[in-house]
Amino acid sequence: MDAEGGFEMAEFLEGTLDTMMERLCNSISGFDPEWVTRCVPATEEQIRQLQDILVEYNYTMPAAYLYYLKRMGQDDGDLLEKEDGCEVDIGMVLELLSGRKDSSARKDLKNGLFLFSDNYWTQTRLYMKLSAVDDNPMVTNIQNTYIAESFEKYLFRKAFYMYKGEFTYRGLTSDSVCKRHKKKKIEDCRTCPYCGDTVEERMDFIHQMAETYGLKKAWFSDQSHFICYNASYAFEINVYRGYSVDFSCNDDKLWTQVRYSLGLFPEFFAYLSSYGN
């Protein structure tokens, strides 16, 4: 909060990959100054052990992940663990990869999927999709389902979720799936919030709405996540399956209004365009 009781907006700055951790730490420290004190880097020996394992499969460690390990490889202050409920520390990664050559993590690595996040209880695992040329790889799950366009965008999206948690009103979610609604004529698709059978079609629709009403998406948005924030509100629209909107704000009047406009995207965007922009 600022001196007048308002909300101090976080700044999630875009930049070159070598500045990723500096930008990430500065972003989170803007609304949680104590967070960086909880982060613990990986040791040089741990990083060397992991690099040696990757070399066995003809891969080098992606630069984005190496930067992360050197800054918070043992403990990232709940940046990923709190949001996903998964273990992400390098000790866990080494434990899963340092065992039998036929372990599931090793088999996945042989197929170019590097396990970096694991939840033993839910069997949820997240991977980086490795290649010989990608220093900022895509994040997927074991079914090769798209999670994030890059590891960098994945980190910043999680930092954004931490930021949303600072708002008074949060978690207002609306789900709507295209197949639940009758198909309209093709010429009506531009005004129908339920149009589009594919992720690309649904995201095109969201981009059109945002452009129409002058709302700018955050740079760490990606193929299936449209993210927008300012000092008054923060929201994310996930178009992976239909539409799912998560909204947060500090103003009770805004919160009430959005509850009534959230299900119809033109009205939702129109209202936000006149509020805090």
pLDDT category at 6 given cuts 50, 70, 90 is very low
Residue 197: what are its φ and ψ, rounded to 5°? -85, -20
Q: Is residue 95 part of a domain?
A: yes
CATH code of the domain covering residue 140:
3.40.1580
Specify whether 114 is located in the same domain as 225.
Answer: no
Question: Average pLDDT, stretch 20-35?
Answer: 95
The two tokens of residue 2 are: 């600022």
Is the pLDDT at 98 greater than 80? The verdict is: yes
Instruction: Look at residue 192 in the predicted model and tell me its pLDDT.
Output: 53
Kindly report the length of the chain.
277
Specify whether 183 is located in the same domain as 146.
Answer: no
Specify whether 251 is located in the same domain as 212.
Answer: yes
Q: Is residue 83 part of a domain?
A: yes
The two tokens of residue 95 are: 């434990």
Residue 146: what are its φ and ψ, rounded to 5°? -65, 125
Domain boundary among 99, 132, 157: 157
Specify whether 48 is located in the same domain as 118.
Answer: yes
DSSP 201-218: HHHHHHHHHHHHTTPPPP
Q: How do residues 151-165 score in pLDDT, each as one tens digit?
A: 999 999 999 999 998
Specify whether 108 is located in the same domain as 199.
Answer: no
**Which range has highest mean pLDDT (72-86, 118-132, 218-232)?**
218-232
The two tokens of residue 239 are: 């178009």
Instruction: Look at residue 3 in the predicted model and tell me its pLDDT.
Output: 34
Domain boundary among 130, 157, 184: 157
Question: Average pLDDT, stretch 208-223?
Answer: 93
Specify whether 109 is located in the same domain as 32.
Answer: yes
Give the CB-side neighbour count of residue 136, counting CA atoms within 13 A. Answer: 15
Measured CA to CA, the distance from residue 48 to residue 179 in angstroms comes to: 50
What's the domain range around 50? 17-157
When divided into structural domains, the chain yields a total of: 2
Instruction: Look at residue 83 in the predicted model and tell me its pLDDT.
Output: 59
Instruction: Look at residue 158 in the predicted model and tell me its pLDDT.
Output: 94
The two tokens of residue 241 are: 């399956």
pLDDT category at 48 given cuts 50, 70, 90 is very high
Burial readout 24-35 (b: 16 or more C-beta within 10 A, e: otherwise): bbebbeebbeeb
Strands (E) in 206-266, as ranges, are 225-229, 233-238, 243-249
Specify whether 107 is located in the same domain as 30.
Answer: yes
Element (DSSP H or E) covering residue 272: helix 265-273
